[in-house]
Structure 1
Amino acid sequence: MLTDQKQVNPRQVLGVETLKSLNERSDRKGLLQLIAHLTVMGVSGYLWGSHIEKGWLVFPVLVVYGFSLASMFAALHECVHRTAFATNRLNGAIAWLAGLLSLYNSTYYRHYHKWHHRYTQTDKDPELEDPKPTNWQEYLWQLSGLPWWWGKLQTYWKLTTGQIENYPFLQEKSGKDVILSARLQLFAYLGAIALSSALGHPEAFFLYWMLPLAVGQPMLRFILLAEHTGCTDDDNPLTNTRTTLTLFPIRLLMWNMPYHAEHHLYPSLPFHALPKAHQQLSPYFERVEKGYVQVNRNIVSRF
């Protein structure tokens, strides 16, 4: 529940010393988080590979594996903010790897996401180029992940062919970096396809990456819809972003991104500091809600 919004300076809710303490980045905590995520991915991926066509366990294992791939987007997000690790080179390397697994380009996303934070829920916010659903058809279409796949095909085509003039957040130098990064990523995918074919398993790229990622996307869309949908269309971080209280497995694989209002208010906070920050910041936010099912029920109730 929002507390005295008109009398609060959003950027001064936390004291200087408190913010300094919370802002401490850690390679150890980042690596432990990454290992936990990769462990879930590795175990579920192994079970998916060894249980194909072997009974009822196949589908839940595929869902977990697929979501662990899709939610590498959360690892990318933290590394792009350079808050996942204390070492910036580690942030850069893991961001690129996480983007490779989740079909995002970290170099492009860093500039895109910077503008999202700068212009959240206002006319220059690049996320608003994907309209929020206003009816059941649009809602289910977004949850399917199909618009996301189509958007990826369009974006990668433009980036790899150097068509960046319609991206205002890319300058000449950053644009060249993005083009090179996107092309390297495409080569990595082509290399994976070639390697699997050379090893006699041409279906592996589809079965162990594309199919699971497609299965995981609806879950990720379900979560990401909650971040700003139904919030105010202005630059007030106390009202334009939602925090969703959810289960530990989701918080783990989403790198604490459900504490999204806290993150938008203080983007410098590393993922491991967000739960502690929530304890102090939650009374100031307009939207702190319990569970993604409830949030999505509220979203569709407005159709």
Structure 2
Amino acid sequence: MEYSPPPLFKQGASARVKVVFFSIIAIALLVVDSHMQSLALIRQVVGTALYPVQMAALLPRDALYSVSGYFVSLASVERENKALRLEQAANAQTLQRAQQLFSENAQLRKLLGTSEQLPVKSVMSEILYDARDVFTRKIVLDRGSRHDVVLGQPVIDDTGVVGQITRVFPLTSEATLLTDKDEAIPVQVVRNGLRSVAYGRGQSGLLDLRFMPANADIRKGDILVTSGIDGVYPGGLSVATVVQVENKSGDTFASIVCQPLAGIDRHKQLLILLKQPMDAPRPPPGDAKDKKAVGGKTRLRGPVKELPAVPTPLPATTVRRLLQ
């Protein structure tokens, strides 16, 4: 039995006929548009009308690209920040090292200028470390007996006296600071020439002028220098400045506290005074012509000036007769 749809849903032309028909129309439009450009306006209108539809269709793609680009950019920024932090740390270390070298260079220049002004020979040294004894004020230097360092030699910097050598090894030496409780140094007030002895106060890092009369002419701000009477420290080296003077009515001696001028807490380079006078100038070569060694003795050449006659001492009896 053949089935046929009702008249209301009766189909029109067949699909094959429709395809052929619309293909012919499309080819005709293409030919007309290629020769006469008559469909440009229609194309623009259709493109404008379909633009919102195209944008809506591209929204998922654009959103996916944006999200992926955001995460890629975030990862890239994190890598750049990490690289910049490492570079900043390296630059900070380099800058600190440069500042340290600049400070050491300035300190060495000052020490060089100080050594040129001293009347004795000196050797440059560097602080290796502090002594292990916490109850003393000592440092270890990188110069020893091989560098002509001996016991008792003064140690200074560009601003004042630091201490003196108290132990010597072949390659290193130990210096006791002025602030050590067992250290003392003869000093002199620059303002009036008053002499005294400064004693260390231990870990406080200060000095005391002990046994000074209550009426002693010492004021706050006075500069103390080495007096040179002990034969250890050359005279005129800066030692300390007076920071406190207390004169109580019932005390016999004044309480005088001084602050050392040497900057051992700020610098690592120091000078060790060898206490050897600078080389004396040699005599002119012409003076050797007037001397001639004969038989192991030195004999002067040329005319010899007569020495003044030495008076003959009088007999003791004559002296008694003259005094009577």
Instruction: Give me the TM-score of the superposition, normalised by structure 2.
Output: 0.21
Higher relative contact order by CA 8 Å / sep ≥ 6: 1 or 2? Answer: 1
From the CA coordinates, give the structure whose radius of gyration is larger.
Answer: 2
Q: Which has the higher helix share?
A: 1
Instruction: Give me the TM-score of the superposition, normalised by structure 1.
Output: 0.22
